[in-house]
Chains A and B, each alone.
Chain A
Amino acid sequence: MTDSKYFTTTKKGEIFELKAELNSDKKEKKKEAVKKVIASMTVGKDVSALFPDVVNCMQTDNLELKKLVYLYLMNYAKSQPDMAIMAVNTFVKDCEDPNPLIRALAVRTMGCIRVDKITEYLCEPLRKCLKDEDPYVRKTAAVCVAKLHDINAQLVEDQGFLDTLKDLISDSNPMVVANAVAALSEIAESHPSSNLLDLNPQSINKLLTALNECTEWGQIFILDCLANYTPKDDREAQSICERVTPRLSHANSAVVLSAVKVLMKFMEMLSKDLDYYGTLLKKLAPPLVTLLSAEPELQYVALRNINLIVQKRPEILKHEMKVFFVKYNDPIYVKLEKLDIMIRLASQANIAQVLAELKEYATEVDVDFVRKAVRAIGRCAIKVEQSAERCVSTLLDLIQTKVNYVVQEAIVVIKDIFRKYPNKYESVIATLCENLDSLDEPEARAAMIWIVGEYAERIDNADELLESFLEGFHDESTQVQLQLLTAIVKLFLKKPTETQELVQQVLSLATQDSDNPDLRDRGYIYWRLLSTDPVAAKEVVLAEKPLISEETDLIEPTLLDELICYIGTLASVYHKPPNAFVEGGRGVVHKSLPPRTASSESTESPETAPAGAPPGEQLDVIPTQGDLLGDLLNLDLGPPVSGPPLATSSVQMGAVDLLGSGLDSLIGASNFVSPPAAAVPANLGAPMGSGLSDLFDLTSGVGTLSGSYVAPKAVWLPAMKAKGLEISGTFTRQVGSISMDLQLTNKALQVMTDFAIQFNRNSFGLAPAAPLQVHAPLSPNQTVEISLPLNTVGSVMKMEPLNNLQVAVKNNIDVFYFSTLYPLHILFVEDGKMDRQMFLATWKDIPNENEAQFQIRDCPLNAEAVSSRLQSSNIFTIAKRNVEGQDMLYQSLKLTNGIWVLAELRIQPGNPSFMLSLKCRAPEVSQHVSQAYETILKN
């Protein structure tokens, strides 16, 4: 007597048979037939052909039959929209039924029929049900609004259902409130701007009251909604926290986690001195621990969230290390997460325990887990200095096991330990070298090669070891190839005599036989460095590396703060903000932690002062695998300088220099196409840091009203050369924006129209920011003045002379070309003032051969006037000294592409000739800068 009998009729005429049964007069037979239909539907069979027959059974007073028919309708109405209309009448009638269960059922089913034609018939019944006297019907109707909104949002708004829904938030029944909140939240998700859940202290109060009385699911919706509210001060935050805290004891883990979210968010507003803050911290730990005793799936989600919480507020769980110890039959996804949190919680106090556990894990069966455990030992060594020695010896023990993947993993982490504690544990290198042959994973090979290269002077047979890798150079992955290149160069610099052949071999392998641009570029850079200035090469390649920091894989603070607002959601599971993965990114609003606002009487302690801004500590993080390459490149290239401008310019120098002279031949030899190479200065500068942001700075403009010098217009294109069009113009820079002021004169006899302008690629990427707009046709003998805004984001090509600009102008007659020189000072950016210390350091750092001297004659100004005049053109005086009666002005300026120029201007009172010394990493610009000085000072 079970339902499985409904599955048994699989004969050919099944549908036909069912049809007959559905139309039977006997109630019982009818019901059985509908059940058979439903059973077929549940397993995915297509029974849509029976639609009219099933709908006919709808008019019944048998509730079960009615429900079954409704079930069927929901599934198939979409595929039979015309037939579905037949059902409308019954719905309307059922919505008036005296039995609230039937009214609710009707309104529920209605919303599930996703047929446009029907929806409008349903508005009236729905409106009635939203105001029904029975709360059961009201709460069902609230959800129905969300359903309808999903089908036809416009209709819902036009019919005013949203307002009715908002009113339901104040309903007397908590279940209705919860459902209204849930429905509004869902609607709000697709309409981020609509501000549907307009929360104010009154509505918050109502929600908090409903929170205590509604079902567990309702509590989740209400808590999630509360989390979006920003209390006006710390008192309100505290009172909400107090009322939410009891939810931490709920049996439903989703309620607990949503409550944790609200508390974590509002805690941000509480002062740490408050007693309540401490109490709250204490209250948060036990529920989080309890989540870990639930089913593994729940544990997984909880662990992902705890990972965030531990990063944000490590103090909450610092004593709970043991609950994260791994049980051998935990599912792998739980094991990996637990391990991650263990490392985050590791401290001097518990490191012994942790290490013992990790060692235990390293002998387990699951390969992924073992790997991560080994890696974790390394991370502990880096994090807790006192334990480093023990970690290293543990790792050595593990290497002795000779289990292939354990050895490889251990070598990767030992490399990091070497970087963190240089010159401390090198005694283990010998043991590592023994295992060279067993390494078959790129990361481990690369790590090993790095170690060999870094400590080449201590390894007697370093050259043999590296040579052995070189044999199969082309079969290695890029990571290994790059590492091998660097290591051999390091070796060469340390032991130049024996390894010349080796280095030549690797350089030629990298530059000539490889088609990997990274490898080739790095090869060329090394080659060039070695051939021009071995001393500099040594300084660069063997420079001391910055130490790596202790915390690894930290989520960046701003992202972390955003994720804290998303505790308990998918975003928190993926550790990505929702807009990064939610379908179409629709309607995702950025959430941020509330700033801490103290209520009126509390004093402004330093704690409360830095309001919303989370502590943005900058941490060097061990690069993850992917970043390793870029990072190493970065490290090798830049001497250990502090501050972004220096780093940029040093790279700039390298690049410009490379292009300037020697490399052309190399490029030619390897069939390198030259235009892209010419674009290198800007492109190289950009990823290194400040280059790109300077461009942004430029466009955003700094608010100083600097009117830099504007030269009078000069004729650029004489009329005779351009069929009667005469163009004269000049360049200006005002408030951070560059423009080209043009004067177009029509000296021909016909009307000119359709003007357009275009620039050739140029040294600084100048390009029109807007099309050339000449509004009316230019009639004969008429002149127009146009100001064409420019930007510096165009493509870059080095021109000769540097400030040459080739322009093409088109009109209805023809296209004309001309070239002009722009004064360099239009490229001096507003934030070109260097900090004093930085100036000194940079000045010293730039080699003397880059210094250029110029004389500026016949300038009758005194030092004050000079500096103020230069300042208005963005040449900033950083310091002024008087030496033996001479005024020395130290000045800096920055070009739009991030090149810094430092200047020393010597002025002797009474002598109209000034001496100008310029230092720049790209010495080509000096000449043009001095010209700019001259033009600015003399006009």
Chain B
Amino acid sequence: MIHSLFLINSSGDIFLEKHWKSVVSRSVCDYFFEAQERATEAENVPPVISTPHHYLLSVYRHKIFFVAVIQTEVPPLFVIEFLHRVVDTFQDYFGVCSEPVIKDNVVVVYEVLEEMLDNGFPLATESNILKELIKPPTILRTVVNTITGSTNVGDQLPTGQLSVVPWRRTGVKYTNNEAYFDVIEEIDAIIDKSGSTVTAEIQGVIDACVKLTGMPDLTLSFVNPRLLDDVSFHPCVRFKRWESERMLSFIPPDGNFHLLSYHVSAQNLVAIPVYVKHNISFRDSSSLGRFEITVGPKQTMGKTIEGVTVSSQMPRGVLSMNLTPSQGTHTFDPVTKMLSWDVGKINPQKLPSLKGTMSLQAGASKPDENPTINLQFKIQQLAISGLKVNRLDMYGEKYKPFKGIKYMTKAGKFQVRT
């Protein structure tokens, strides 16, 4: 099981260590540093590293490496999932997960880590339960604690821990009972030079924010549930009902949670909401290259595309770029060779474009690689897969809750090859 955890910042300092079994010397991280050095970029550090006596499994989030040390055969996904859970918990507790914040809250961090694992076995990883055991720091509570001498450690056994619905605490009370669901879809796509789709898939998730009194039992049904290829549920969802009736039936956790994530695969035709026209060319003889990009809407069901940003890693030989955007702002970092263009909204009548020249290093030959264009965008009130929620019903409680549903489509890893 998980032996120890080291948190390492990007400059290579170990700023927190936690051991759940015997103490493992921090020198074990030297193997990690070696691997880090070999991988030029932080993202490329391999997640599983073997050392003579231990295995190091790491995740890289928020510019921090979370390195778990294990000694025996343990499912690596279990460790990596757990590390992600640690990150999520920190974020949940402190709002952000960063080195200064962790250092500022080191005692709470330590207490939380101690609650999350026992001897390497996960103990309590549901944030609901953790928050009952160790209350997250708030300014008010800190002030109260200092005055009254009370603590932020709960002294009651969390009620949910052992019930059949461990994710929900009992005795929840709200004056305004409300349940909001956000259907968020991300399109991962690769578009080739000529504008045709190489691969496209949709990763969807339904995030819920449920603030309901008592023990409500909800059912959520879809107009077109067959769209969903593969689904993974929050533990609260009754799988049998989904299997037989294709509807989600669940007693929700209190507060924010991921109800469901789903996948609409490459097999179905995925609508691509934007197109990019590009002309990036270098000439053999000249040290100048032409650069031209236009972005336009494609299949948007009449909705506006917002928050568009275009970024591209230019070839190493590019020294500078002289560009004019028709709207928005652009920057080019001559060190990292990263071009980014913040476009904003797309007006179908007047398509945004970015035109100009690139100058190459004098005497350098024409670059071999073609830059790939990375696209970010948002479309409100549209689930690009066509998924629609039919209705939401509540049983088990008398009151009438306020219900709301929101759709959004975003670009995930959306790449256009040139």
Contacts and interface: CB of A to CB of B under 8 A. Distances in A.
Interface string B400-418: 0000000000000101010
Which of A6, A7, A43 has most chain B Cβ within 10 Å?
A: A43
B44 A249 contact: no
Contact of B188 (A216, A293, A583): A293
Nearest to B76: A301
B239 A246 contact: yes
A65 B162 CA distance: 25
Interface string A289-329: 11001011110111000000000000000011011010111
Interface string A6-45: 1100000000000000000001100100010011001110
Nearest to B188: A293
A148 to B, nearest CB: 10
Interface string B1-32: 10000000000001111111111001000000
A302 B77 CA distance: 8
Given A224-B75, A254-B75, A333-B44, A143 B232 contact: no
B230 A68 contact: no
Contact of B47 (A189, A287, A300): A300
B107 A329 contact: no
B230 A42 contact: no
A251 interface: yes
Which of B107, B190, B231 has most chain A Cβ within 10 Å?
A: B107
Interface string B60-88: 10000000000111111110111010000
Contact of A301 (B77, B234, B239): B77
Interface stretch (B148-156, B349-357, B383-391): B148-156
Interface in A164-208: 173, 175, 179, 182-183, 186, 189
B230 A286 contact: yes
Interface in A86-105: 99-101
B222 interface: no
Contact of A42 (B48, B72, B106, B316): B106
Contacts of A251: 232-235, 258, 261
B220 interface: no
B280 to A, nearest CB: 13
Contacts of A286: 229-230, 263, 265
A339 to B, nearest CB: 15
Contacts of A300: 46-48
B267 interface: yes
B59 interface: yes
A75 B19 contact: yes
A31 B107 CA distance: 12
Contacts of B118: 108, 140, 143
Interface string B297-334: 00000000000000001001000000000000000000
A252 interface: yes
Nearest to B365: A402
A150 B21 contact: yes
Contacts of A2: 104-105
Nearest to B104: A2
B162 A175 contact: yes
Contact of B107 (A38, A250, A254, A319): A38
B22 A78 contact: yes
A865 to B, nearest CB: 63
Given A43-B16, A99-B157, A136-B161, A568 B77 contact: yes
B19 A249 contact: no
Contact of B53 (A31, A401, A573, A583): A583
Interface residues of A, number: 107
A150 to B, nearest CB: 7
Contact of A254 (B43, B44, B81): B81
B155 A327 contact: no
B81 A574 contact: no
Given A62-B151, A300-B48, A101 B157 contact: yes
Interface string B92-133: 000000001001111111110010001101110110000000
Interface stretch (A357-365, A552-560, A643-651): A357-365
A114 interface: yes
Contacts of B16: 42-43
A6 B221 CA distance: 52
A325 B75 contact: no
Contact of A287 (B72, B105, B123, B230): B230
B34 interface: no
Interface in A570-593: 570-571, 573-574, 578, 581-583, 588
A328 B415 contact: yes
Given A256-B232, A574-B50, A44 B369 contact: no
A322 B266 contact: yes
Q: Is the interface of B mostly helix, strand, loop or mixed?
A: mixed
A154 B155 CA distance: 36
A249 B233 contact: yes
Contacts of A583: 53, 71-72
A4 B104 CA distance: 4
B172 interface: no
Given A44-B14, A64-B151, A135 B105 contact: no
Given A217-B125, A298-B80, A569 B232 contact: no
Which of B48, B78, B125, B156 has most chain A Cβ within 10 Å?
A: B78
B90 interface: no
B114 A71 contact: yes
Nearest to B6: A44
Q: Is the interface of A mostly helix, strand, loop or mixed?
A: helix
Contacts of A758: none
A328 B416 CA distance: 10
Contacts of B151: 31, 62-65
Contacts of A320: 265-266
B74 A173 contact: no
A719 to B, nearest CB: 62
Given A100-B157, A298-B80, A332-B39, A4 B73 contact: no
A295 B84 contact: yes
A289 to B, nearest CB: 6
Interface stretch (B175-183, B196-204, B286-294, B340-348): B196-204
A333 B106 CA distance: 33
A246 B232 CA distance: 10
B199 to A, nearest CB: 4
Nearest to B239: A246
Contact of A215 (B26, B107, B114, B122): B122
B39 A570 contact: no
B170 interface: no
Interface string A246-264: 1001111110111000000
B368 A323 contact: no
B106 A3 contact: yes
A827 interface: no
A94 to B, nearest CB: 13
A893 to B, nearest CB: 49
Contacts of B105: 2-3
A765 interface: no
A630 interface: no
A222 to B, nearest CB: 13
A614 interface: no
A117 B23 CA distance: 19
B277 to A, nearest CB: 19
A412 interface: no
A299 to B, nearest CB: 9
Contacts of A111: 119
15 contacts: A3-B108, A42-B17, A43-B16, A63-B154, A64-B152, A101-B156, A220-B78, A249-B231, A249-B239, A257-B75, A301-B76, A322-B198, A327-B413, A356-B192, A357-B198
Given A246-B239, A286-B265, A583-B71, 20 more contacts: A42-B110, A64-B152, A65-B151, A67-B153, A99-B155, A108-B119, A179-B121, A215-B125, A251-B258, A252-B81, A253-B77, A254-B80, A257-B75, A293-B203, A297-B57, A301-B76, A328-B313, A332-B44, A573-B76, A581-B50
Which 5 A-B pairs rank lowest in CB-CB distance, beginning with the nearest?
A286-B230, A2-B104, A64-B151, A64-B153, A254-B77
